[in-house]
């Protein structure tokens, strides 16, 4: 009998702890337990036979740490084969009459993946794949991925299983006492990702006792449509006379497990501290119970690496701003590979209250697959919002989905067979919640009924790929009413039909409706309200438009989706104070004030004063690190003063004051950085203005390539130097951290950059710095190299052949100015 | 801790069971803003001038401008709920080799450590971490709001050091009650104790499974705000 057939109508009993029993048998601390498969097989067989005798159905072969990071290829194969030989011997020798299965056990590799660690996702996939292939060859009945404390690592392991075999796969994560994985994932987010990738059973093991995992199990049972498993520790470890003991014994343990079986858990066993006695007690208790059927919860959920977002209840806002269409500034950022700009656009929308970020980075002249992968990775490192990958290029879509840490939204397919045939296989493999546009080869149908028919066709086609209706969300397409005044009515009625007739989710890019009309936000937000009333599940929208946010918060309050109207009240209180009755008078006063401020600014900058008393308002804002003020004053100044004049007369002198005070030790690093942030805000406004006037960004200073060296994952020092250099107008190319030597050299050659800045924080990474300098001398002999970082000293810098050691950011600026000057002199 | 130190004192520390790691979850030690600012680039001398010279919660080091103080408050708030305080430790007897160097459950030949462990009969070897949450926050802010990123780095460093201080104090107190003496802690990377002993220490305390600490190829720990150290017991 196959395990999947067996588990349909039965509880499945797993085994219990292995490590504790091996230690009792004499395994030394630090000794690798997998080696015992070959050196002490009789001990392994004895323990495993004990589990089969106690009633275990699924025994995990002793392969938890069997991976190519710990063993060479030859030993790995030998250990895995021996593990299965031993397990089979244990099954044969056992007197138990139950169905018996042997699982390939896969634990974490022990390396944290990027961005928090330094291990590449794809390297993890390859490492797990090796173990999977050997396990299949050795005769595994199923694969059991367990004790995973990071969602990304879990995805790597599951992907390796799916790409290398057809065996059933169970996935179990290790939750902390806060009910989350170490890297932050909630149970619901794990359910979304793992079900999307077709795990056959999911749940939790290790780290806590059964009692402490009840909350986690309840969340699994609420969201999961596949069988749920638990394999807890024998309670919490306690120190007793220098020995670790666990505080829950078989009677109590099995009592809590029984409670969980009654709630709907189907697969149970034990982890650290449990023995065959625990499993025997569990099997006995379960005999009194009947399995609770596993039901499809029919939920539409996506996830990020921390949390899940559910569709079909409260409406979901999807931020549309990461998209180059019609945005010159954004297009330029894409061409310049200015990832920070894109990240900022994401973070700002998150602050504005969206729950999902749409990510579109398609421009004809850039490599979209590369860009979508890199932006996906960078965005998920800084924001915990789930992403909607928005591209018409299936290659780019696959690259994005593969590296995405969770279950993404996929934007989009439509009724064209060719499109569905390209995208649905990707969704079937990686999981996803798919936006389906109701158009096909014949274009966008005029009537609601025709659009609903396309939706029906898409549902049918998707089911052929194993993609259920709950994983589709239909966009019945908002068209502008300025071209056809019946357009909105058709869309509104299609939303109603799809929601209430087909029982599917709907989404709209709402702003199209007002295209070509004045004061578009009025029309768009009213349309938004009307479609919400018809059951719209999500909108792709501009969260900076106050009218849209007004509708969103008011709708939720009116529809009993906002307990005690808390969200609405918080939102309302965050709005700027209402305009007083005597608005006219105030307005003119305000205008007068702002123009006088502008004059004051000019006056101060003309005088070029340096002391605190004589500085202009903008300079004051920068020096004190007041970001918002700096931005606002710049906006005002731009009405009268040329952008480049503001830079020359206001921003640079202010930065100089702060920079000099820093050098004189009158202010310190945090203050220097706050000033830099404020001036960045001013620069943002200035850049926007320049993009409008097509004046060009003015002459940039020379280029400066900066990186933290290979093997080093410290970023902050380098980022500080980068920020200050940018403030001073240098064309900084930031390669990030842990940058391979040749990558630095290639960039310097490509740009013919005159200066390179390298950072190393650890003595252990200084050799990588030395190697980078060596390569630079060979391939880019013109480049000056400055080094810095916590361990760096003048002596070190001399020894590894750097041109210059800079103690801090300001010294780097001075050195860059010097190098630039000598270039001009040449 | 008391049991294990008592076994050590009475010479009953059996080598194998002593090396079973013990796991603790501590409560948050009081926040020391002065230390945070010191880690973020304010020299200690400047801070002392502004405060009373005491190094505890009451030691107020109002930064030169109120904007920074405000930002620091915001950033401290950001970290709320994103920190855990966890330690895993083992206790071991210390033997002396023929060359007089201490023999520990991990390989080393450090004369600084030898001095530090002079007259010690045992050691507590531990790893401690404030968890991955602070790294997530740093990641989130270090590129777009560098000042916030810097302050977060400072908070992370201050938090883990304060926790380890508290742990060291505990060991000292309990050892004192048992009429023994605990030494100040000593960490790999200081003096001639190389950072390459990290894998052995982490394995000893089962840090990966119990605390989620892993090493990269350059022996850097993730989560980054983690500490390993040795406390001698005389």
Nearest to A343 among B21, B37, B144 (CB): B144
Mark whether A319 and A179 lie in a shared domain: no
Q: How far apart are CA A651 and CA A634, in angstroms?
A: 10
Summary mean pLDDT of chain A: 90
Stretch A370-385: mean pLDDT, rounded? 94
Element housing A742 (H / E): helix A741-751
Give me the DSSP letters along A637-670: HHTTS-HHHHIIIIIHHHHHHHHHHHHTTSS-HH
Strand A505-509 and strand B221-222: the pairing is unpaired
Hey, is the C-beta of A659 within 8 angstroms of any chain B C-beta? no
Rounded to 5 degrees, what angle do the CA atoms B25, B30, B36 make? 110
Measured between beta carbons, which residues in chain A are less than 8 angstroms from residue B13? 242
What's residue A202's pLDDT?
A: 98
Closest CA to A157 of A87, A67, A76, A79: A67
Q: In A416-561, which residue ranges form alpha helices assigned H by DSSP?
A: 417-430, 448-463, 487-496, 520-533, 546-558
Inform me whether the pLDDT recorded for A678 exceeds 50: yes
**Residues A45-92: pLDDT tens digits?**
999 999 999 999 999 999 999 999 999 999 999 999 999 999 999 999
What's residue B46's pLDDT?
A: 62
Q: What is the CA radius of gyration of chain A?
A: 31
Question: Where does the pLDDT of residue B47 fall: very low under 50, low under 70, confident under 90, or very high at 90 and above?
Answer: low
What's residue A580's pLDDT?
A: 53
Closest CA to A128 of A65, A56, A179: A65
Confirm whether A793 is domain-assigned. yes
Inform me whether the pLDDT recorded for A727 exceeds 70: yes
Stretch A269-283: mean pLDDT, rounded? 96
Least confident piece of the model among A94-98, B5-9, B196-200: B5-9
Q: What does the block give as tokens for A242?
A: 């220098």
What's residue A360's pLDDT?
A: 96
- When comparing pLDDT for A811 and A716, which is higher? A811
Residue of A nearest to B21 (CA): A244
DSSP at A444: S
Burial class (CB within 10 angstroms; exposed 0-12, middle 13-18, buried 19+) of B177: exposed
Q: How far apart are CA B31 and CA B37, in angstroms?
A: 12
Percent of chain A with pLDDT over 70: 94
Q: Where does residue A26 fall: left (phi above 0), alpha (psi -120 to 50 degrees), or beta otherwise? A: left
Residue that is last in its domain, among A663, A693, A723: A693
Closest CA to A256 of A234, A277, A227: A234
Confirm whether A318 is domain-assigned. yes
Mark whether A405 and A532 lie in a shared domain: yes
**Measured in whole angstroms, how far is the alpha carbon of residue A111 from the centre of its chain?**
18
Beta strands in chain B (DSSP E): 22-25, 86-93, 95-96, 102-103, 122-129, 214-215, 221-222, 226-233
Residue B102: strand pairing partners: B96
Residue that is last in its domain, among A255, A286, A317: A286
Q: Do residue A674 and residue B223 have CB atoms under 8 angstroms apart?
A: no
Residues B82 and B134 sit within 8 Å (Cβ to Cβ): yes
Q: What does the block give as tokens for B42?
A: 């304010």
**CATH code for the domain in which residue A611 is found:** 1.10.1240.10
Closest CA to B231 of B123, B95, B118: B123
Residues A680-714 as b or e (16 or more Cβ within 10 Å = b) = bbbbbbbbbbbbeeeeeeeeeebbbbbbbbbbbbb
Hey, is the C-beta of A293 within 8 angstroms of any chain B C-beta? no
Confirm whether A291 is domain-assigned. no
**CATH code for the domain in which residue A735 is found:** 3.40.50.280
Within 10 A of A544 (CB to CB), how many other CB atoms are there? 12
Stretch A713-734: mean pLDDT, rounded? 85
Question: Where does the pLDDT of residue B44 fall: very low under 50, low under 70, confident under 90, or very high at 90 and above?
Answer: low
What's residue A90's pLDDT?
A: 97
Q: Do residue A111 and residue B21 have CB atoms under 8 angstroms apart?
A: no
Measured in residues, chain B has a length of: 234
DSSP at A499: I
Q: Where does residue A718 fall: left (phi above 0), alpha (psi -120 to 50 degrees), or beta otherwise? A: alpha
Range of the domain at A732: 703-825
Inform me whether the pLDDT recorded for A560 exceeds 70: yes
**Neighbouring residues of B153: CB distance < 8 A, sequence distance ≥ 6:** A716, B39, B40, B138, B142
Mark whether A723 and A665 lie in a shared domain: no
What's residue A693's pLDDT?
A: 65
**CATH code for the domain in which residue A387 is found:** 3.20.20.20
Strand A300-303 and strand A308-311: the pairing is antiparallel
Which of A403-417, A570-584, A692-706 shows the highest mean pLDDT?
A403-417
What's residue A51's pLDDT?
A: 98
What's residue B14's pLDDT?
A: 66
Q: How far apart are CA A373 and CA A367, in angstroms?
A: 10
Mark whether A533 and A627 lie in a shared domain: no
Distance in Å, alpha carbon of B223 to nearest chain A alpha carbon: 8
Nearest to B208 among A110, A244, A715 (CB): A110
Stretch A690-703: mean pLDDT, rounded? 68
**Residues A235-254: pLDDT tens digits?**
887 766 556 678 899 999 99
Measured between beta carbons, which residues in chain A are less than 8 angstroms from residue B216? 111-112, 117-119, 711, 713
Closest CA to A273 of A21, A44, A45, A59: A21
Measured between beta carbons, which residues in chain B are less than 8 angstroms from residue A108? 208
What's residue A584's pLDDT?
A: 42
Within 10 A of A109 (CB to CB), how many other CB atoms are there? 22
Stretch A318-345: mean pLDDT, rounded? 89
What's residue A652's pLDDT?
A: 85
What's residue A815's pLDDT?
A: 94
Mark whether A477 and A336 lie in a shared domain: yes
The residue to which tokens 């309670």 are assigned: A235
Q: In A200-249, which residue ranges form alpha helices assigned H by DSSP?
A: 214-223
Measured between beta carbons, which residues in chain A are less than 8 angstroms from residue B38? none
- When comparing pLDDT for A532 and A184, which is higher? A532
Cα–Cα distances (Å) from A726 to A431, A690, B100, B150, in that order, read 41, 17, 56, 18
Distance in Å, alpha carbon of B119 to nearest chain A alpha carbon: 22
The pTM assigned to this predicted structure is 0.79
Confirm whether A775 is domain-assigned. yes
**Residues A288-310: pLDDT tens digits?**
999 999 999 999 999 999 999 99
Say how many Å lie between the first and final Cα of chain B, rounded.
15
Q: In A274-393, which residue ranges form alpha helices assigned H by DSSP?
A: 276-286, 328-335, 339-352, 368-382
Backbone phi and psi for residue B233, each to the nearest 5 degrees, phi listed first: -120, 120
What's residue A670's pLDDT?
A: 82
Residues A121 and A150 sit within 8 Å (Cβ to Cβ): no
Closest CA to A340 of A730, A728, A719: A719
Least confident piece of the model among A28-42, A526-540, A642-656, B165-179: A642-656
Nearest to A667 among B19, B64, B153 (CB): B64
Residues A527 and A520 sit within 8 Å (Cβ to Cβ): no
Q: Do residue B223 and residue A116 have CB atoms under 8 angstroms apart?
A: yes
Q: What does the block give as tokens for A389?
A: 């990958």
Residue A171: strand pairing partners: A145, A202
Q: What does the block give as tokens for A145?
A: 């991925």
Mark whether A193 and A241 lie in a shared domain: yes
Three-state SS for A190?
Answer: helix
Mark whether A777 and A636 lie in a shared domain: no
Nearest to B3 among A239, A668, A673 (CB): A239
- When comparing pLDDT for B49 and A396, which is higher? A396
Q: How far apart are CA A193 and CA A309, in angstroms?
A: 12
Distance in Å, alpha carbon of A69 to nearest chain B alpha carbon: 12
Confirm whether A739 is domain-assigned. yes
> Residues 551..570 of A with a Cβ closer than 8 Å to B: which?
none
Q: How far apart are CA B116 and CA A461, in angstroms?
A: 72
Number of domains present in the structure of chain A? 4
What's residue A427's pLDDT?
A: 98
Q: How far apart are CA B225 and CA B154, in angstroms?
A: 10
Question: Where does the pLDDT of residue A137 fall: very low under 50, low under 70, confident under 90, or very high at 90 and above?
Answer: very high
Q: How far apart are CA A635 and CA A771, in angstroms?
A: 47
Stretch A116-142: mean pLDDT, rounded? 95
Q: How far apart are CA A816 and CA A589, in angstroms?
A: 46
Question: Where does the pLDDT of residue B11 fall: very low under 50, low under 70, confident under 90, or very high at 90 and above?
Answer: confident
Hey, is the C-beta of A673 within 8 angstroms of any chain B C-beta? yes
Mark whether A266 and A306 lie in a shared domain: no
Give me the DSSP letters along A458-492: HHHHHHTTT--GGGEEEE-----TTT-TTHHHHHH
Stretch B81-98: mean pLDDT, rounded? 89
What's residue A586's pLDDT?
A: 41
Distance in Å, alpha carbon of A703 to nearest chain B alpha carbon: 19
Distance in Å, alpha carbon of A176 to nearest chain B alpha carbon: 10
Site from B148, B214, B233 to mutate, A interface, most A CB atoms within 10 angstroms: B214
Closest CA to B5 of B136, B179, B137: B179
Q: What does the block give as tokens for A182?
A: 């170490």
Site from A181, A242, A681 to mutate, B interface, most B CB atoms within 10 angstroms: A242
Strand A755-759 and strand A387-390: the pairing is unpaired
Nearest to B150 among A665, A670, A762 (CB): A670
Mark whether A113 and A150 lie in a shared domain: yes
What's residue A242's pLDDT?
A: 55
Q: How far apart are CA A732 and CA A432, in angstroms?
A: 37
Hey, is the C-beta of A425 within 8 angstroms of any chain B C-beta? no
Residues A20 and A27 sit within 8 Å (Cβ to Cβ): no
Mark whether A263 and A315 lie in a shared domain: no
**Measured in whole angstroms, how far is the alpha carbon of residue A90 from the centre of its chain?**
43
Inform me whether the pLDDT recorded for B142 exceeds 80: yes
Least confident piece of the model among A195-209, A656-670, B13-27: B13-27
**CATH code for the domain in which residue A158 is found:** 3.20.20.330
Dihedral angle sign, alpha carbons of residues A349, A352, A356, A358:
negative
Which of A384-398, A572-586, B74-88 shows the highest mean pLDDT?
A384-398
**Residues A746-789: pLDDT tens digits?**
999 999 999 999 998 777 788 899 999 999 999 999 999 999 98
Architecture of domain B2-27+66-233: 3-Layer(aba) Sandwich (3.40)
Q: How far apart are CA A547 and CA A521, in angstroms?
A: 6
Q: How far apart are CA A206 and CA A272, in angstroms?
A: 6
What's residue A672's pLDDT?
A: 85
What's residue A582's pLDDT?
A: 47
Task: With a threshold of 0.95, tell me whether the complex ipTM lies above it.
Answer: no
Mark whether A240 and A339 lie in a shared domain: no
Mark whether A474 and A588 lie in a shared domain: no
**Residues A736-753: pLDDT tens digits?**
888 999 999 999 999 999
Domain locations in chain B as residue ranges: 2-27+66-233
Inform me whether the pLDDT recorded for A146 exceeds 60: yes
Q: What does the block give as tokens for B227?
A: 């500490």
What's residue A271's pLDDT?
A: 94
Question: Where does the pLDDT of residue A720 fall: very low under 50, low under 70, confident under 90, or very high at 90 and above?
Answer: confident
Stretch B165-174: mean pLDDT, rounded? 94
Question: Where does the pLDDT of residue A214 fall: very low under 50, low under 70, confident under 90, or very high at 90 and above?
Answer: very high
Distance in Å, alpha carbon of B184 to nearest chain A alpha carbon: 22
Question: Where does the pLDDT of residue A596 fall: very low under 50, low under 70, confident under 90, or very high at 90 and above?
Answer: very low
Q: What does the block give as tokens for A57?
A: 């159905």
């Amino acid at each position: 009998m196959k395990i999947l057939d067996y588990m349909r109508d039965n509880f499945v009993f797993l085994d219990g702890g292995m490590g504790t029993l091996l230690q009792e048998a004499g395994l030394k601390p630090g000794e690798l337990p997998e080696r015992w498969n070959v050196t002490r097989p009789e001990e392994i067989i004895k323990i495993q036979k004990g589990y089969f005798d106690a009633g275990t159905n699924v025994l995990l072969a002793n392969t938890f740490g069997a991976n190519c990071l710990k063993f060479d290829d030859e030993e790995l194969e030998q250990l895995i084969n021996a593990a299965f030989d031993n397990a089979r011997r244990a099954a044969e020798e056992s007197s138990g009459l139950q169905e018996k299965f042997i699982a390939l056990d896969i634990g974490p590799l022990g390396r944290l993946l990027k961005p928090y660690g330094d291990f590449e996702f794809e390297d993890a996939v390859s490492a797990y794949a090796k173990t999977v292939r050997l396990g299949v060859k050795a005769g595994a009945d199923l694969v059991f991925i367990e004790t995973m404390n990071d969602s990304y690592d879990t995805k790597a392991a599951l992907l390796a299983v799916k790409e290398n075999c057809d065996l059933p796969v169970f996935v179990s994560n290790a939750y902390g006492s806060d009910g989350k994985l170490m890297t932050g994932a909630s149970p619901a987010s794990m359910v979304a990702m793992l079900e999307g990738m077709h795990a056959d059973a999911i749940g939790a093991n290790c780290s806590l006792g059964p009692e402490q995992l009840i909350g986690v199990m309840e969340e699994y049972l609420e969201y999961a449509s596949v069988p749920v498993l638990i394999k807890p520790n024998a309670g919490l470890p306690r120190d007793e006379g220098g020995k670790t003991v666990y505080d829950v014994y078989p009677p109590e343990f099995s009592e809590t497990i029984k409670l969980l079986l009654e709630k709907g858990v189907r697969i149970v066993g034990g982890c650290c501290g449990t023995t065959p006695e625990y499993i025997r007690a569990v099997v006995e208790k379960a005999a009194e119970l009947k399995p609770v059927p596993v039901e499809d919860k029919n939920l539409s959920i996506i996830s990020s690496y921390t949390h899940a977002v559910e569709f079909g209840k409260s409406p979901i806002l999807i931020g549309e701003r990461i998209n180059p269409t019609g945005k010159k500034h954004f297009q330029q950022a894409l061409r310049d590979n200015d990832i920070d700009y894109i990240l900022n656009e994401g973070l700002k929308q998150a602050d504005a209250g969206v729950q999902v970020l749409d990510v579109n980075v398609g421009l004809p002249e850039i490599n979209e697959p590369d860009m979508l992968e890199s932006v996906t990775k960078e965005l998920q490192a800084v924001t915990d919002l789930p992403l909607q990958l928005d591209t018409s290029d299936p290659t780019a879509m696959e690259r994005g989905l593969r590296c995405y840490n969770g279950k993404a939204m996929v934007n989009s397919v439509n009724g064209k067979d060719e499109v569905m045939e390209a995208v649905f296989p990707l969704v079937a493999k990686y999981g996803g919640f798919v936006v389906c546009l109701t158009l096909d080869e014949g274009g966008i149908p005029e009537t609601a009924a025709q659009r609903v028919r396309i939706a029906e066709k898409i549902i049918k086609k998707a089911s052929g790929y194993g993609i259920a209706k709950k994983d589709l969300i239909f966009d019945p397409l908002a068209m502008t009413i300025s071209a056809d005044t019946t357009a909105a009515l058709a869309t509104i009625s299609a939303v109603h039909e799809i929601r209430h007739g087909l029982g599917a989710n709907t989404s709209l890019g709402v702003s199209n409706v007002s295209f070509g009309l004045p004061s578009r936000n009025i029309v768009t937000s009213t349309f938004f309200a009307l479609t919400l009333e018809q059951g719209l599940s999500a909108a792709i929208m501009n969260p900076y438009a106050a009218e849209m946010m007004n509708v969103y918060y008011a709708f939720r309050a009116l529809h009993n989706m906002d307990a005690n109207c808390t969200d609405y009240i918080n939102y309302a209180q965050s709005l700027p104070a209402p305009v007083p009755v005597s608005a006219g008078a105030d307005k003119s006063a305000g205008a007068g004030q702002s123009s006088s401020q502008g004059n004051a600014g000019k006056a101060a900058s003309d005088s070029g004063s340096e002391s605190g008393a004589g500085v202009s308002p903008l300079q004051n804002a920068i020096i004190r690190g007041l970001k918002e003020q700096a931005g606002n004053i710049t906006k005002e100044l731009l009405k009268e003063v040329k952008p480049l004049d503001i830079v020359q007369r206001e921003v640079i002198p202010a930065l100089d004051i702060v920079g000099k005070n820093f050098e004189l030790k009158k202010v310190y690093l945090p203050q220097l950085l706050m000033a830099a942030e404020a001036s960045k805000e001013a620069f943002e406004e200035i850049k926007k203005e320049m993009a409008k006037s097509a004046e060009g960004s003015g002459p940039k200073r020379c280029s400066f390539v900066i990186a933290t060296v290979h093997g080093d994952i410290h970023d902050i020092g380098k980022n500080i130097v980068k920020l200050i250099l940018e403030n001073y107008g240098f064309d900084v190319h930031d390669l990030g951290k842990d940058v391979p030597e040749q990558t630095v050299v290639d960039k310097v050659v490509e740009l013919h950059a005159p200066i390179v800045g390298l950072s190393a924080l650890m003595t252990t990474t200084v050799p990588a710095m030395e190697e980078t300098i060596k390569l630079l001398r060979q391939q880019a002999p013109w480049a000056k190299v400055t080094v810095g970082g916590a361990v760096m000293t003048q002596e070190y810098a001399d020894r590894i052949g750097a041109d210059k050691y800079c103690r801090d950011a300001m010294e780097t600026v001075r050195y860059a100015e010097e190098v630039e000057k000598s270039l001009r002199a040449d | 801790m008391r049991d294990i130190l008592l076994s050590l004192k009475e010479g009953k520390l059996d080598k194998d069971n002593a090396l079973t790691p013990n796991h603790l979850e501590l409560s948050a030690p009081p926040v020391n803003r002065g230390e945070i600012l010191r880690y973020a680039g304010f020299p200690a001398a400047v801070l002392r001038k502004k405060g009373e010279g005491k190094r505890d919660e009451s030691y107020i080091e109002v930064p030169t401008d109120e904007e920074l103080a405000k930002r620091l408050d915001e950033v401290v708030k950001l970290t709320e709920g994103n920190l855990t305080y966890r330690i895993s430790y083992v206790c071991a007897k210390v033997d002396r080799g023929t060359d007089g160097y201490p023999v520990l459950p991990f390989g080393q030949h450090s004369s600084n450590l030898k001095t530090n462990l002079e007259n010690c009969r045992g050691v507590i070897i531990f790893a401690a971490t404030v968890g991955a949450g602070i790294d997530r926050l740093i990641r989130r802010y270090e590129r777009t709001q560098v000042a916030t990123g810097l302050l977060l780095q400072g908070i992370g460093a201050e938090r883990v050091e304060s926790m380890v201080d508290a742990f060291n104090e505990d060991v000292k107190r309990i050892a004192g009650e048992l009429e023994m003496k605990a030494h100040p802690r000593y960490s790999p990377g200081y003096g001639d104790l190389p950072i390459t002993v990290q894998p052995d220490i982490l394995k000893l305390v089962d840090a990966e499974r119990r605390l989620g600490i892993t090493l990269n190829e350059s022996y850097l720990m993730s989560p980054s705000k983690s500490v390993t150290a040795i406390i001698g017991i005389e």
